[in-house]
Structure 1
Amino acid sequence: MSLTSHLPRLLAFSFAGADLLLEMDRTAVVRFAAGAAESLTGQRETQLIGQSFEDLIAPEDRAFVRGLISGLGGGERIGPLTVRLAVSESERCQATLGLCCLPDSESLVHCTLSMRGVQTPAVPVGPRDPESQLLQGTAFPRAVDRALRQARELDQPVSMTLLDLEGLGQLRARLTEGGGRALLDRISGFLRARAVDGQTVARLSEERFGLVHRSSLVAQDLTRRLADTLRKADPNGEGLPVRGAVLSLQDRDLESADMIRAIAYATDRFASSGHIPGEDLPSVIESSVRETLQRMEDFRQVLAQRRFRFLYQPIVRLADRRPEHFELLVRFEEGGSPQEKLDFAENLGLICDFDLAVCHHAVDLLSRERSDSRLKLAVNLSGHSILNSVFIKSLESLLKANSAISRQLIFEVTESAELTDLEAAHRVIQRLRMLGHRVFLDDFGAGAASFRYLHALSVDGIKIDGRYIREMGRTSRDLAMLRGLKRICDDLEIEIVAERVETETQAARLRELNLRLAQGWLFGKPAPKPVLQRREGDGLQLHRQLQAARRAVGKEA
């Protein structure tokens, strides 16, 4: 069937809600155009004939549209969806897109474009998967929050579905490079077409995806259609099992930030977990949300009741092994790994309150009337905390009220959470330095972003991750890397602290590298009190300090 034979009826039907009608083949080459072509595309109707429809679409939406067209089945209709058109290389305009494929003419795709009825949802910002251009990482929970708020305003029930396409990587490997990319485009387009706003879709891992959609969308139909797409793309005709877990968001408290965080955390665990039996997937996701909410409440109780204690570990000068300052560490009464609890608090947005409590303790200790003025403390600040404006405002108020101890309080910015806004982080760090505090980057080298941080952030020092200290004696390459880092830091006038020094051999190599400061069990374990040397002639020797610290730890245990 050709469009021309039914032109009057189709034109009247299409233009009732569209400004431009196009007919394309399956390669997206335009075969027919009618309507307000110039106002939408800057070209006349006749100029569009023979062009690729993708050329009219902004580059950031081309993969999405390509996937929509290639996955469109006979008798199927998609849209209206908001897309960006490429008016010029630098200019974009938004339009509503509709696609359909008539049952008896699957080789043709009919398309409508219109400037009327355009909804301009806020395009989610943040990390995107470079292959699919779907949301990734922290961008997805923020988009879920926004979609939920919009749904509440429209009184529109929505759900979130998490999809497991186990074996997708292997299937793409069986295809040509272009075929593998086309399949991913098709999956991405299929999911975005069914998302509540065409945007809230994420590639959570290589083979797992998530989207927020209207609750009226039947999840079984979603998985069946996606499985059919995979089967058709498989040269062996086998396809893949598609498993989905639906999390209804309709009856949940959309005002609750905790709920959004719990959903985001459960989603992240789903993305990183191994194989999950298909029949258990929905219950696993639901129970993960409930468990996360309970853990959040438990952590708040730990914080409110101060069910943790402080320990102090010395950072010493390698030349004489006397304490330069002490790192303030935390241990929880419930036991277990403190880092695991702190990572959980960081991932769930609870770390700011905790960091502020630790800062208050440090300030109180340093400000006491009988406090030794030689005592200096280093306090850890999460990357989440320094990017939180409420936390920074509270911290600055605390520091300004206690400016007399500014040279005694040092901050270590941890890399457990990636700093997503380096410019903002730099501004905060400079504000702390302007108040008289030194700032170090902790665990330097543990994450891929370390050297990027060193380039973007002006700091007073870095702490080399203990893994490098442990490995440095095994190959000459490790020593060469440390020498290179030492030269860079010398040029930048940045101090270096070597962490987790446990042997005399390691200490000797660090002295050979002319490193000044070190930390580790060789010099002292975390103790309940910071042990300073006596003033008279520098008093007791270091081994007495260490003996006192060990005795204190034994009593604490």
Structure 2
Amino acid sequence: MTIPGLRHLLGLYDIRENDPVLAEAQFRAFARQVLILYAVLSFNLAGLAYAHYGQAPFWSIVGPPAVLITVIVISAAVWLHMARRPPQGEDAFVSLRIVNFFAFLLALSIAIWATTLFGRGNPANDIHILFFLGITVMFCMQCLSQLRSASYILATVALPYCVYYVAIGEPLVKMTVVNYVVVLLGSLVMHQFAYRDFCDLVSLTEENGRLAHTDPLTGLPNRRSFVARLEETVETALAKGGRFGVGVIDLDGFKPVNDSLGHGAGDAVLREVARRLESVGLGWPARLGGDEFGLIVEGGIDLDEIGRRICADLGRPYHLREGQAQIGASIGFAVFPDAATRVETLVDRADFALYHAKARRRGSSTCFAPEHEAELRRHADVEQALRRADLAAEFHLLYQPIIDVADGRVEAYEALARWNSPTLGSVSPADFIPVAERSGLIRDLTRILLTKALDTMRGWPVERRLSFNLSAHDIAGPEGVDALTTLVVASEIDPSRIVFEVTESGLMRDLVDARRALTSLKALGVRIALDDFGTGYSSLSYLQRLPVDRLKIDRSFISRCTEDETSLNIIRSILDLCRHLALDCVVEGIETVEQKRLLRSVGCRSMQGYLFQRPMPAEAIAAFDAASGPGMIKHQGREGQPAAA
């Protein structure tokens, strides 16, 4: 036999020590079967001893089986103890080597004892001995089928005794032994097949387990793995009194990259984000889904510095095959145990800190702080009150005019939602609208308020328009668009008198769906306004791809335009853009006569703000219209003074 062949033969008796996963699986498989193996083996030992009672010496049918059964019982107790916490890694290899050694000693001892009984009784007793050895070895090999080395050890111990019985036995004994050897060799071949299948199954199970806990696109751990790792970290920190941070990272500007450069480019960005998170080495990253990532930071916790470094690293340009992409990242952190001690609460706190970071300044990080707790409770109170609310009874609309300052006339009224809660009192739209969006109640609220606005509009002059704000959730699917269409058609109001306002940042969440929804609404005949223009991504390609009729310049530029030349130049640029694209333009947030005059001088015509009129109830519109004919608009503010003061 060649040396490679000898190595292969010896390998049948080895444990694959380069595969700890297989070793752990072998241990678990044997642990499930060891008790039944020992029970059958003990019963067979007692049965063989009983069959030779009175024919063999008393000590030979009592002493050896008693010792063997005692050893078996002790081994069973040890296995029961070990099965409670299965060994891993090197400990699993040690346990399997012990199984091999114990199988050799036990098989050798039983074979020697049974051989000492051979010839002590009648021919039926000798056949019983052969039957005992044969059936016991076959059963033990079956129980050890996942541990090939132990099965081959049993077969190796059995073969010399088969040769011995063939040499000394009667013809019937010889034929019985020969039959057994043939069956034994066939069983070894089948065991080899079964062992290979077991190894393949373990490998497949391991791969499936890895895939179940791994994000296939980025190779990072997925949400399930993140939660499991977080649970382990919490348990360790509780036991040792440690601290750690949990981060939730959201990419800013990812959707526009996906929409403008394609999904392939978006996937490439996500893979590069994963690579940067791993290479920066500031925590244990995972992909939670979409463009959201998680981070567990152990050890020294300077989360502000970690947040700055990650935001800076993820904000660097992404050089793709399709072109260069630029995105940012916002991060929310929560510290254990300061923010919370439960996994779900920690993630919720980190998510709230992320929301706070996005609302304050995109591209930054925020750590959940004590002052956020009051805000979070406020949000929770608002959500509970909102879920219990009678939306039709508790919500109402106020209307603020949009003025054509060139003609001094009202061109439209913007409907503004207000909520008087029986339990919370007056609740700001800045509080209840985000909660309504997160809780899924925004569509019901929009439907009720639009119905009220359309009913109010029936008494207006035919040239007067209604401007109504929509949430991105209202147009996130065909059902929402169908509901809006149904309400407009049922009102029998000319759709061209209705302007639906949508925020720029809301549309950018999914530009493809937004375009589809707005195109459907535009086909109905309504007009589309892009609200808060200049505070989102402001890509010219979006204006080209979206069916927009009007831009509303955000009030943040207006409040600084009289002192800040840059703000004024931005307004000039947007006005020029509107003229070249044939879009209407409205400036909102006008509070002083000085602002009005300056903006009128650079070409602004449609304005809205406290200078002209605060939001008013529907009942006051008729009186305001009567006092606001062409050239009759009065200012509510004074020169250089904000009307809202």
TM-score of Structure 1 vs Structure 2, range by shorter chain: 0.5 to 0.7
Which of 172, 183, 208 lines up with 1:118 in the alignment? 208
Residues 365-394 of structure 1 deviation map (CA, whole Å, 9 limit, x = unaligned)? 234xx5432332111001122114432221
Letter in 1 for 2:351: D
Counterpart in the other structure of 1:299:
386
Q: Does 1:347 align with 2:438?
A: yes
Higher normalized helix content (fraction of residues): 2
Q: Structure 1 pair 187/531, CA: closer, same or farther in 2 (3 Å)?
A: same
Counterpart in the other structure of 2:172:
none
Letter in 2 for 1:420: R
Q: Structure 1 pair 379/201, CA: closer, same or farther in 2 (3 Å)?
A: closer
Which of 337, 352, 364 lines up with 1:269 in the alignment? 352
Residues 408-440 of structure 1 deviation map (CA, whole Å, 9 limit, x = unaligned)? 221100246463210110111111111110010
In structure 2, distance between residues paired with 1:372 and 1:179? 59
Counterpart in the other structure of 1:516:
605
Q: Structure 1 pair 541/202, CA: closer, same or farther in 2 (3 Å)?
A: closer
Which of 284, 289, 298 lines up with 1:187 in the alignment? 284
Counterpart in the other structure of 2:156:
none
Q: Structure 1 pair 180/13, CA: closer, same or farther in 2 (3 Å)?
A: closer
Which of 379, 402, 418 lines up with 1:331 in the alignment? 418
Counterpart in the other structure of 1:439:
528
Q: Is the 8 A contact 2:402 2:606 kept in 1?
A: yes
In structure 1, distance between residues paired with 2:453 and 2:476? 21
In structure 2, distance between residues paired with 1:510 and 1:200? 42
In structure 1, distance between residues paired with 2:467 and 2:614? 15
Q: Structure 1 pair 463/133, CA: closer, same or farther in 2 (3 Å)?
A: farther
DSSP-derived class of the 1:359 partner: helix
In structure 2, distance between residues paired with 1:166 and 1:263? 9
In structure 2, distance between residues paired with 1:478 and 1:489? 17
Q: Structure 1 pair 167/12, CA: closer, same or farther in 2 (3 Å)?
A: closer
Counterpart in the other structure of 1:387:
476
Letter in 1 for 2:411: E
DSSP-derived class of the 2:281 partner: helix
In structure 1, distance between residues paired with 2:11 and 2:528? 71
In structure 1, distance between residues paired with 2:464 and 2:291? 51
DSSP-derived class of the 1:295 partner: helix
Q: Structure 1 pair 396/10, CA: closer, same or farther in 2 (3 Å)?
A: farther
Letter in 2 for 1:243: F
Q: Structure 1 pair 416/298, CA: closer, same or farther in 2 (3 Å)?
A: farther
Residues 143-195 of structure 1 deviation map (CA, whole Å, 9 limit, x = unaligned)? 68x999xxxxxxx9x97988974599xxxxxxxxx99954537622xx68xxx
Q: Which runs of 5+ in 2 are unaligned?
A: 1-6, 24-87, 93-201, 238-242, 248-274, 307-333, 357-365, 638-642
Counterpart in the other structure of 1:480:
569
Q: Is the 8 A contact 1:265 1:348 kept in 2?
A: no
The equivalences for 1:239-254 within 5 A come to 243=336, 245=340, 247=342
Residues 67-121 of structure 1 deviation map (CA, whole Å, 9 limit, x = unaligned)? xxxxxx99799xxxxxxxxxxxxxxxxxxxxxxxxxxxxxxxxxx9759863665
Q: Does 1:506 align with 2:595?
A: yes
Counterpart in the other structure of 1:319:
406
Deviation (angstroms), 1:406: 0.8
Q: Is the 8 A contact 1:265 1:347 kept in 2?
A: no
Moved more, 267-276 or 347-356: 267-276
Counterpart in the other structure of 1:91:
none
Q: Structure 1 pair 200/319, CA: closer, same or farther in 2 (3 Å)?
A: closer
Which of 473, 483, 502 lines up with 1:413 in the alignment? 502
In structure 2, distance between residues paired with 1:266 and 1:383? 24
Q: Is the 8 A contact 2:531 2:554 kept in 1?
A: yes
Q: Structure 1 pair 391/522, CA: closer, same or farther in 2 (3 Å)?
A: same
Counterpart in the other structure of 2:557:
468
In structure 1, distance between residues paired with 2:291 and 2:626? 63
Counterpart in the other structure of 2:586:
497
Identical pairs, percent = 24
In structure 1, distance between residues paired with 2:485 and 2:368? 46
In structure 2, distance between residues paired with 1:76 and 1:510? 79
Taking structure 1 as the reference length, the TM-score comes to 0.54
Q: Is the 8 A contact 1:147 1:200 kept in 2?
A: no
Which of 525, 534, 544 lines up with 2:614 in the alignment? 525
Deviation (angstroms), 1:456: 3.7
Deviation (angstroms), 1:501: 0.9
Residues 245-290 of structure 1 deviation map (CA, whole Å, 9 limit, x = unaligned)? 55477xxxxxxxxxxxx9986542144676668xx99xx99x9998
Deviation (angstroms), 1:335: 1.8
In structure 2, distance between residues paired with 1:290 and 1:159? 25
Which of 329, 354, 363 lines up with 2:454 in the alignment? 363
Q: Structure 1 pair 424/76, CA: closer, same or farther in 2 (3 Å)?
A: farther
Q: Structure 1 pair 292/452, CA: closer, same or farther in 2 (3 Å)?
A: farther
Q: Structure 1 pair 357/263, CA: closer, same or farther in 2 (3 Å)?
A: farther
Q: Is the 8 A contact 1:466 1:498 kept in 2?
A: yes
In structure 1, distance between residues paired with 2:342 and 2:418? 36
Deviation (angstroms), 1:303: 4.5
Counterpart in the other structure of 1:48:
none
DSSP-derived class of the 2:493 partner: helix
Q: Is the 8 A contact 1:321 1:523 kept in 2?
A: no
Counterpart in the other structure of 1:541:
632
In structure 2, distance between residues paired with 1:338 and 1:453? 27
Q: Structure 1 pair 455/477, CA: closer, same or farther in 2 (3 Å)?
A: same
Aligned residue-pair number: 375
The equivalences for 1:454-465 within 5 A come to 454-465=543-554
Q: Is the 8 A contact 2:550 2:585 kept in 1?
A: yes
Higher normalized strand content (fraction of residues): 1
Letter in 2 for 1:319: A
Q: Which runs of 5+ in 1 are unaligned?
A: 19-72, 78-111, 136-142, 149-155, 169-177, 193-197, 210-222, 235-240, 250-261, 548-552
Counterpart in the other structure of 2:260:
none
Deviation (angstroms), 1:505: 2.0
Q: Is the 8 A contact 1:441 1:459 kept in 2?
A: yes
In structure 2, distance between residues paired with 1:300 and 1:371? 33
Counterpart in the other structure of 1:310:
397
